[in-house]
Amino acid sequence: MKKDLPPIEPYERTAHYYETDRMGIIHHSNYIRWFEETRIHYLDKAGYPYSEMEKDGVMIPVLSAECTYKNAVRFDETVLIDLKITEFNGFKMTIDYVVKGKENGDVKATGRTRHFFVNSDFKLVRVKDKFPKVYEVFNSRKEEE
């Protein structure tokens, strides 16, 4: 990530009752939804909302999603979700997530999503050439190795 950019605060999410399962914990499928909410939050805070990006003709489908569950999240518990862009080349992207309890910082889950970029006709696109604003939003915040 470029040093002159302010950090984007983690996405804060309070677990809803309808997201729980019979065991009283958040159903595993909701974490993937939370990852999507985190991506939307990230783009809003980076100054290029996803709705604007779509109007400009760029979409970011998910190729794969994975989540490893560490500690249960329960109804009304608040979590903070950090996002890091770990791979970005203007054609595809990998994002890593860490879900932590707000109260004590316990890691609740980790995850990863992989994406590629398409235009409004669902044709693969290299955003550096066709959509430089999109390229800059992601490339400027890619984590350095």
> Residue 5: what pLDDT?
64
Is the pLDDT confidence value at 114 over 80? yes
Alpha-carbon span 1 to 88, nearest angstrom: 12
> Residue 142: what pLDDT?
82
| Count of Cβ atoms closer than 10 Å to residue 95 Cβ | 23
Q: Is position 21 annotated as part of the catalytic site?
A: yes
Comparing 7-11, 13-17, 31-35, 55-59, which segment has the lowest mean pLDDT? 7-11
Between 87 and 129, the higher pLDDT residue: 87
Catalytic hit among 21, 76, 106, 129: 21
List, for residues 23-71, the tens digit of each pLDDT value. Answer: 999 999 999 999 999 999 999 998 889 999 999 999 999 999 999 999 9
- Domains of the chain plus CATH, in order, are 11-139 (3.10.129.10)
Mean pLDDT of 104-112: 98
What letter does residue 50 receive in the DSSP assignment? H
Contact present, 100 and 73 (Cβ < 8 Å): no
Q: What tokens appear for 63 in the block? A: 């190729």
Q: What tokens appear for 52 in the block? A: 């604007």
> Residue 2: what pLDDT?
56
